[in-house]
Amino acid sequence: MAAVTERRTALITGATAGIGAAFARELAAEGYDLVIVARDEERLKGMAQELSAVDVAVLPADLSTAAGCDAVAARLTDAERPVDLLINNAGMSLNRSFLRSTVELEEMLLRLNVHSVMRLTLAALPVMAARGQGDIVNVSSVSGFAALMPGSTYPASKAWVTNFSESQAQLVRRMGVRVMALCPGYTRTEFHQRAGIDMSKTPEWLWMDARDVVRAGLRDLRKGKMVSVPGWKYKLTTFAVRHAPRGLVHRVSRDTRGRIGREEH
């Protein structure tokens, strides 16, 4: 009699666009059942129809709110329906200098980029540790390795995500649980177009495909890496940013501008 294969479940935030949608498609192809999270219920239903070959549960939630985080955290702590893989992907960026920002915008960025990652990781991690298995990928950014984008708080939020993920990875690796920060560079998503951001001056060679980012990230996760930087060009960039004199890094980043918009990576 053939052995029954246990179904695996992945929960993905920001699952209707960009890197989140690429994760959904890739994991569905691997046979994962999915719980997909985003603000737009209609787009979630469309994604569920696209991935109908596996079991897809739709969970509308705005993770910049306490109610949204609570709803997703409740699903992650459901012992009868364990989540094997959590992808914390939803995030946002701002296109204005801190001097022209508002408390409301900055707090929204922190709630989505920092607080929701902490909240959902804290919901999932104890359950995974008790089971002795589970994976968490927190989508960060190469911008988090230095004070790039002068006047923007986005890199600072991503620096927190990377540091937080690496710290938790060290805590739980002996418990059979893996945590990893995925740090992509420029990735082709619909975000810039939807937010009306002109990226035409960005060199073509800097862009990566979301599917390639996801596949590289999943390979690194399964190798046990705590931080993943997809693409050789961004590996070199990260090395240079980490080791170059701070003054040089600041001069290179001087012309970089911040961006605003709700981003689902």
Between 123 and 2, where is the model more confident? 123
Query: Facing residues of 182 across strands?
Result: 139, 228
N- to C-terminal Cα distance for the chain?
Answer: 44
- Separation CA 211–CA 264 (nearest Å): 15
User: Whole-angstrom Cα distance, residue 155 to residue 195?
Assistant: 19
* Catalytic residue check, 186: no
Model confidence pLDDT, tens digit, residues 102-155: 999 999 999 999 999 999 999 999 999 999 999 999 999 998 887 777 678 899
Instruction: Supply 102's token pair.
Output: 């508002």
Task: Render pLDDT for 74-98 as a digit per residue (tens, 0 to 9).
Answer: 999 998 999 999 999 999 988 788 9
pLDDT tens profile 181-224 = 999 988 776 544 444 444 556 656 577 899 999 999 999 999 99
73 has pLDDT over 90? yes
Q: Please state, in angstroms and rounded to a whole number, the distance separating the CA atoms of residues 139 and 196.
A: 23
- Using pLDDT thresholds of 50, 70 and 90, give the confidence band for residue 261: very low
Structure-block tokens of residue 104: 């409301």
Indicate the class that CATH gives domain 9-263.
alpha beta
- The HSE-up count of residue 116 (CA atoms within 13 Å, CB side) is 34
DSSP 204: G
Residue with tokens 């006047």: 151
- Percent of the chain residues past pLDDT 70, beyond the cut: 81
**In the chain, domain spans:** 9-263
Question: Number of C-alpha atoms within 13 angstroms, CB side, residue 13?
Answer: 30
| Residue 208, pLDDT score | 87
C-alpha 149/C-alpha 157 separation (Å) is 12
Q: How far apart (Å, rounded) are the C-alpha atoms in residues 156 and 44?
A: 30
- Mean pLDDT calculated for residue range 253-258: 50
Token reading at 76: 């992650």
Catalytic residue among 32, 154, 186, 234: 154
Quote the mean pLDDT of the chain: 86
d(CA 224, CA 183): 15
The whole-angstrom separation of Cα 133 and Cα 176 is 5
